[in-house]
Amino acid sequence: MKFASRAGRLVLVALVLTACGAPSAADRQAATTAKASPPPITLAQAISRATRLGPAGAGTEVVLNFSLKSRHATSLAALVASGHTVTPDEYSAEFGPDPALVSRALAYLRSSGLQAAWSRGSSLIQAQGPAPAVDALLEIGIVNYRIGTGQVFYASVDTPFLAPPLGAVVSAVSGLDSYRQMTGAAVNPGGLKPVDVLKFYNFKPLRDRGLDGTGETILFPEIESLPQSNINDLNKFAKEFGLPPFDNLLTIKHDPSWGPPMKPEGEAVLDLEVVHQIAPNARLVVYTAGPQFVYINRAFDQMISDHLGSIISESLGICETNTSKGQRDAYASVEDRAVALGMTHFAATGDFGAYMCGEDQEPASMFPSTLPTITAVGGTTVFESTDGSYFKESVWGSPIDETGTGGGPSHFYGIPAWQKNVEDASGHGFRQVPDIAGDADPITGFHIVLNGRDTQAGGTSASTPLWAATVALINQDLAAKGLRRIGFANPALYWIGENASRFASPPYHDVTTGNNLAYSGAPGWDFGTGWGSMDGAALDTAWITYIKSGGA
């Protein structure tokens, strides 16, 4: 078994692959004992262990994002909480940053020796320049460091000063270090095949009614490239299972200002193949960026500005306590715009159980899944009935290799109103994740095609696109019935969970066994799997009821 975990970057959950076919004794032992790479150390830990090389000189190019203040912040917060939406033009006119103030900020940055750019509708000014110019502009000290692996990075631990032309419109600065990066997050041998997934999670009744994702578009932020060899994998997967080819459904977007993506490791392939088997006619748009926060935020900002689709599947994340306030605020500002525009955003909770920052650290969750404006997706271990239908699931947790579904309270965000009814004392009044879950244990994972071979993969980077595809089917049904699309999903997900007894078939599979190395499954909502996994057909019925009964 090969663990392609993305340790050291933003967190593409631990993507775990095994060869298909009947496993040998050695394969079974590897599946039990192989150990994923540990989560990356924090910036503070890296600096304490690194060799200080001295002040960064003119040869060090610093890449920055300046987050812009929204206008009418109180009204925007009320809009986000209400579930109502606006168009992109309405958002820019009512809530977007003041263009005159942005123009002054741009002029000031350029006069200070930085390149700077902004486009109408964006929540960010993109800027970059030599370290000494950034030092002088923000009154900080940027230092170069080298860690034991030979990696050289720059960082400043100083609080940036914003001169009046910036302070008038800028809310936060991110990019003051180049160390912190995002990373990616009992079944028949070979993993769940498309027919198994449709049966296990009860999507078949929806597909039999003609729901296949037509008219829906799913967006994927990714930190690895998607070369032709991977496109060939996608089409081989589609042909193998009688699905439409990807050629007319897939769009790949990249801009040089988003930094160089990593070499492909299979994360994007996993995301796309999981979605395609459930919603085979949904359009798919991949935004590729470098793994540094500053680049991902740029691509994410453009994704929302483009607004090519209303569903986001994000298998990226980073230990929440290893983020700066500037990084979190920059991302949260763009996410507020996504919610206001009616987008549904799923994010993986990670694959290191409750210890996203490492077993030697206190329990912590994965950002951005901890944002209250995002739907956090956890992971399960699945057990099929002999006919392939649903039998049961357990919280994914493997103490031997210290992997499992992320879950626990946020360290920064208070518990939102829609979560109050399931507030857990262990959360100490903070946002609780995950909200929902799905198959993620690599040993019970999904059948995919990668590098020309049939293989098996797991991680919460598999359960996240599973939920994105579910919403594509439900959105299609809602549109056909003349009802509004889902938009921000959490109020509905919690209403459905709290009113599950109203429905003839439970919309969720309640997962009550297992643990994620700290928190155990329990009846109802829990830190292991949230409300649990979906029963596709029952959830569709419940969502229609929610909207018709006056849900926001």
Share the mean pLDDT of the chain.
89
What is the arithmetic mean of pLDDT over 105-134?
95
Tens digit of each residue's pLDDT (9 = 90 or more) over 445-491: 999 999 999 999 999 999 999 999 999 999 999 999 999 999 999 99
What is the arithmetic mean of pLDDT over 132-154?
91
If we measure between CA atoms, which residue out of 486, 447, 446 comes closest to residue 464?
A: 446
What residues have CB less than 8 Å from 529, skipping those under 6 apart?
Answer: 378, 379, 380, 393, 395, 405, 407, 434, 436, 437, 511, 521
Tens digit of each residue's pLDDT (9 = 90 or more) over 402-415: 889 999 999 999 99
What is the arithmetic mean of pLDDT over 71-100?
89
Give the pair of three-digit tokens for residue 154: 């720059």
Count CB atoms within 10 A of the CB of residue 412.
16
As a whole number of angstroms, the distance between CA 421 and CA 79 comes to 22
Query: Mean pLDDT: which of 32-46, 146-160, 251-265, 356-370 is highest?
Result: 251-265
* Confidence band for 23, pLDDT divided at 50, 70 and 90: very low
Count CB atoms within 10 A of the CB of residue 360.
9
Q: Answer yes or no: is pLDDT of 529 > 80.
A: yes
C-beta pairs of 142-145 under 8 Å, 24+ apart in sequence: 142/55, 142/56, 142/60, 142/62, 142/176, 143/52, 143/53, 143/54, 143/55, 143/56, 144/52, 144/53, 144/54, 144/55, 144/56, 144/60, 145/46, 145/47, 145/50, 145/51, 145/52, 145/53, 145/179
If we measure between CA atoms, which residue out of 116, 203, 234, 130 comes closest to residue 166?
A: 116
Question: Whose structure tokens read 């009320």?
Answer: 78
Question: Greater confidence, 2 or 541?
Answer: 541
As a whole number of angstroms, the distance between CA 456 and CA 266 comes to 11
Please give the full DSSP string across 492-509, using - where no structure is assigned: HHHHHHHTGGGSSS-SEE
As a whole number of angstroms, the distance between CA 222 and CA 290 comes to 8
Q: For the chain, give every residue range classified as CATH 3.40.50.200.
A: 2-22+182-464
Question: Greater confidence, 250 or 6?
Answer: 250
Tens digit of each residue's pLDDT (9 = 90 or more) over 225-253: 999 999 999 999 999 999 999 999 999 99
CATH for 2-22+182-464, options being 2.60.40.420, 3.40.50.200, 3.30.1490.20, 3.30.365.10: 3.40.50.200
What is the arithmetic mean of pLDDT over 428-446?
96
Q: Identify the burial level of 51 via C-beta atoms within 10 angstroms of its C-beta, where 0-12 means exposed, 13-18 middle and 19 or more buried.
A: exposed
